[in-house]
Amino acid sequence: KHLFYELYHVPEAIRLRYCRLKVLEILLFLGTLPAGMAQDRPFLTRRQSDTVKAVQKELRRNLCRHQTIEELAAAYGMAPTTLKRCFKDMCGTTIYQYQREARMAEAMRQLAGTDDSILHIANGVGYENSSKFAEAFKKTTGLLPKDYRKVAGRQHP
């Protein structure tokens, strides 16, 4: 605030030179910031941010449905490349990775908290067969679903 306050109270005769001095002062100040603060931070419009939030909600709500980026982009009125960029900027992950993590989180919750069969859980989170599900689950957690269930304290007969 103190950097700009004087700009409104400087006599017209020296205003241009004073502005140049202020620009140099701002540049000097920005040069003293820690490196982490100088990172480029993505800027998303309100519409883009709202769209990404809606896509996240859609992906979590429909875990068993396979949706392409093109389908999501069309449904939310955004170009596929723009949707991918905005999603990655806001979430720090790709749409595919987000969807996979949401599926695995729900599968982990169900494995730990229900006696549902592994195939039933796999189908509920978008996998047609238990072997593909087990492969993806192990890649994510380091454990097979049956082993995770044992570790989580619920063993299915």
User: Position 103: which residue type?
Assistant: R
Chosen domain end from 74, 96, 118: 96
Look at residue 141 and tell me if it is in a domain: yes
pLDDT, one tens digit per residue, over 18-41 is 888 878 888 887 778 776 654 566
pLDDT of residue 99: 93
pTM higher than 0.75 for the full model?
A: no
pLDDT of residue 42: 74
pLDDT of residue 33: 74
pLDDT of residue 3: 56
Look at residue 157 and tell me if it is in a domain: no
Contact 74, 67 (CB under 8 A): no
What is the rounded distance in angstroms from the CA atom of residue 7 to the CA atom of residue 4? 5
Please count the helices (runs of H) and the strands (runs of E) in the chain.
9, 0
pLDDT of residue 148: 92
86 and 106 belong to one structural domain: no
Burial of 85 (0-12, 13-18, 19+ CB in 10 A): middle
Task: Say how many C-beta atoms besides its own lie within 10 A of residue 104's C-beta.
Answer: 18
Look at residue 32 and tell me if it is in a domain: yes
Domain count along the chain: 3
Look at residue 126 and tell me if it is in a domain: yes
Which residues does the chain have with pLDDT short of 70?
1-8, 35-41, 153-157
Domain that holds residue 17: 2-38
87 and 111 belong to one structural domain: no
pLDDT of residue 2: 57
